[in-house]
Structures are given as C-alpha cells and as structure tokens.
Amino acid sequence: MNDSKRSSRRQLLIGAAVGGGLLASHEKARADAAGQLGTPLGPYGERSPFEKAVRWRRDSKTPETGSSFTPLQDSVGTLTPSSLHYERHHSGIPNIDPAQHRLVIHGMVNRPLSLSVAEIRRLPSVSRTLVLECGGNSGSEWAAKGGPDVQRSYGLVSCSEWTGVPLSLLLTEVGVQPGASWVIAEGADACRMERSIPIAKAMDNILVAYGQNGEALRPAQGYPLRLIIPGWEGNANVKWLHSLKLTDQGYMARDETAKYTELMPDGKAWMHAFQMDAKSVITFPSGGQKLPGPGLYELTGLAWSGRGKIERVEITTDGGRSWAKAQLQEPRLPMAFTRFRLPWRFDGREAVIASRAVDETGYVQPTREALVAVRGTNSSYHFNGTKYWKVQADGAVTNVEA
C-alpha cells in the first residue's frame, strides 16, 4: 500500500472517530447492553431488523406477472442473497412438490429418459458462481431517461452460486441423434415458458440446477429445477424445468419472436441475441443517495460480462474527459460479478461519474450513443451502455438523463 492511500484512509478514520464521538458512544452502548438477554435461537436465520434493503417491484396489471429488482445500491461484495435475487414472472410462481416433479428428455434421442428430482440430485454435480441478467435490464436507458436510481435502472441482474448437473451429462446419457441441432426447454409454470437453445451451447456449459447459494432453489427461482445458461439472457434460463426436447430446428416460441428480439434500424428483427455483453455501473454513490459533505469516499460498483472475465474497469469523475483505472476485487470469475473500487475526494463541486468495463475478449463497454448508432432506438433489450450519475454540489446524486 502506498503512503498516499494509507494517509487518506487514516484521515478518514480519525475524522470519523473525533467528529462523531466514536469512543464515547461505544462505551455508552456497551453499558446499556450489559446484562440484557438477546432473542432466542430460531430454526431459520433472519437478518437484523435494522437492515432495510428490499426488492422494488414494477407495477403490473396482475399480481402474477411483473418484475422485482435487486437493490444493487445496498449490495456489498459480489454475491446476491437469494432473498434479494431479481425476479421476472409471466404467470406467477407455481407450488411444485419435488417428489412429484420429473424432467423428461425426449425427441431426437436414442434413449428417452424421465428423471425424478431425487435421481438428478444423485448424479455428479458442479457449483459455479454466475451472473444472471434479464434481457430487458436497463431497457429504459434506450430512451435516454433511465430510472432515478441504480435499482430501478439496473436491478434486473444478480449473482449467485448455482449447483446442479451439467446438461451435457444428461444429453450424453440419452444419446443425441444425428441431425439434432436444438434443445427446446419448457417450464412447468402456467404459461409453459419455452425457449430454443442451440445444441452446441447445451453440450458446453449449461447446468440443470437445483441449488442456489448453498440451499435448494427458491420457488421464485424455479424450484425444484431450472436451467442456468452462463452468460445468456435470463429468459432463456427456463425455470421449473420439466421438459427438454431435441429437435432439428428452433421452435420460434413466443418469447423468442414476439418478445426478446431486437428491431434493427433497417426493419429486420435480430433474433436469438442470447449473449449478454460487458456492462458495469457505479452503485455508490448513485442516484437517490447523498454524500453528507466534502471528503474522502470510495467509488464502488459492479461489472460483469457474458463473454468471460472482467479484465479492467475505468472510472471518470469529470463526465468522460479523463478515466482512471479502478481496483478489481479478486477472485475475478468468468460471467460473474466483479466488484471495483476507486478512492475519490469530493471537493464540494459538481461532478459527473461513470464506469466502463473491458472483458477478457477485449470487448469495451460502449456509450449509449455508440449503441444507438448501430441498433437504433426501437429496442428494449440488451442495453449495456455506460451509466452517468451527477453528484451535485450539495452531495445529492441524480441520474444525468433525468
């Protein structure tokens, strides 16, 4: 650690201790708590009642449909608690008894299989930390407006440790017939969510997952089985999975034709835009927050890419005129959240801050203007442009486009 960084951190700590009467308040709190019993033990852990981070839900016409957004502004580290993982539902959350649920693998295979959840859980498993992002995340940014805060603009993305069986293992077991080029995945929810997946991806790195963050999937995340497709848009990661059919063509299902397609400037529809490109956003300070006054702060945020690892993140505090290299938290995992940080001294003058990510393939997160130049403004999906926040002189942080 260099001397300037050590000095800045020491000044911050000394200021907090002296200015806030830290030692005195600590002694008083210790005296007040002496001899008081805490709450009894419980069967399932709860968070402190002083922690208030919750998901924000976008209004919809029916309670069974809609989205819940992860509070990224309150996140620390890189993993998203299962209870705060974003949700996107088309027909509600089914209540499925795992003892009655089965996964059928059929179609262009030599040995069709019907597997119980218990049978799947007995197979060789793997665990991977992976980001999951809705294709519509940040969709409002296409119109150069966005949301007032990072949760409502960027909250349809989360990162978890997923546990399950490699799909390639199951496909090898059934024996894929020559000519089979697609897997049609179907969920057991009321809308029978259906997506077409190229066989090459199915044989690569997809999981049939039953675990999330050390326990069973939550019902809202597809309990008891779901697909986890590293780096691909969330809608293709079919929840409540009950059928995999091998075919020689895609099915042109509703959610890959009428939805989750990109209308290009020439009028053509860009279909099967599966992969999520490199993206980043500053989560502190961000829209809706307020710095208490001038002083030393740590700019921090999250970066991710469906192409692989994050290689570099740069931060600007002057609206893009200059950029500084941020520190990346290790380990950096492919297709997972990477936490970035940069010390910054707020001097009480207006500042415009943003981040841009570069992944291991060399892909650079573009500006909104660069995206629009190629894809126009008719899209609602796959926005990954740089996000600017304005820190006003009084410390209030707002969306630059607001």
Pairing of strands 102-107, 241-247: parallel
Q: What share of the chain is helix, strand, coil (3-state, %, to 5)?
A: 20, 30, 50
Contact present, 262 and 247 (Cβ < 8 Å): no
What is the distance between the alpha carbons of residues 202 and 206, in angstroms, rounded to a whole number? 6
- Tell me the percentage of the chain whose pLDDT exceeds 90: 80
- Name the band, by pLDDT with cuts 50, 70 and 90, for residue 385: very high
pLDDT value at 145 more than 90: no
For residues 199-211, average pLDDT: 97
pLDDT at position 143? 84
For residues 336-354, average pLDDT: 98
- With 0-12 / 13-18 / 19 or more C-beta atoms within 10 angstroms meaning exposed / middle / buried, residue 150 is buried
How many angstroms separate the Cα of 296 from the Cα of each of 12, 173, 291, 358? 7, 58, 10, 26
pLDDT at position 200? 97
For residues 282-309, average pLDDT: 98
Residues, the chain: 402
- With 0-12 / 13-18 / 19 or more C-beta atoms within 10 angstroms meaning exposed / middle / buried, residue 139 is middle
pLDDT value at 32 more than 80: no
pLDDT value at 7 more than 60: no
What is the distance between the alpha carbons of residues 188 and 101, in angstroms, rounded to a whole number? 9
pLDDT at position 302? 98
339 vs 90 pLDDT, higher one: 339
pTM over 0.85: yes
pLDDT at position 186? 98
Pairing of strands 397-399, 389-391: antiparallel
Find the range with the poorest average confidence among 19-23, 71-75, 100-104, 371-375: 19-23
How many angstroms separate the Cα of 351 from the Cα of each of 243, 288, 291, 345? 52, 15, 12, 11
Find the range with the poorest average confidence among 254-263, 319-328, 332-341: 254-263
Q: Do domains 82-256 and 279-399 have the same CATH topology?
A: no
Which amino acid belongs to residue 173?
A: E
Find the range with the poorest average confidence among 117-126, 224-233, 267-276: 267-276
pLDDT value at 14 more than 60: no
Mean of pLDDT over the chain: 92
pLDDT at position 2? 59
pLDDT at position 57? 93
Find the range with the poorest average confidence among 8-12, 91-95, 211-215, 342-346: 8-12
pLDDT value at 13 more than 60: no
Quickly name the fold that domain 82-256 has: Sulfite Oxidase; Chain A, domain 2 (3.90.420)
- 3-state SS track over 44-102: CCCCCCCCCCCCEECCCCCCCCEEEECCHHHCCCCCCCHHHCCEEECCCCCCCCCCCCE
What is the distance between the alpha carbons of residues 58 and 66, in angstroms, rounded to a whole number? 6
pLDDT value at 77 more than 70: yes
pLDDT tens digits, residue range 182-198?
A: 999 999 999 999 999 99
Domain formed by 279-399, architecture: Sandwich (2.60)
Domain boundaries of the chain, sorted by first residue: 82-256, 279-399
Other C-beta atoms closer than 10 Å to the C-beta of 367 total 15
For residues 18-23, average pLDDT: 54
pLDDT value at 31 more than 80: no
Contact present, 97 and 116 (Cβ < 8 Å): no
- With 0-12 / 13-18 / 19 or more C-beta atoms within 10 angstroms meaning exposed / middle / buried, residue 70 is buried
pLDDT at position 3? 58
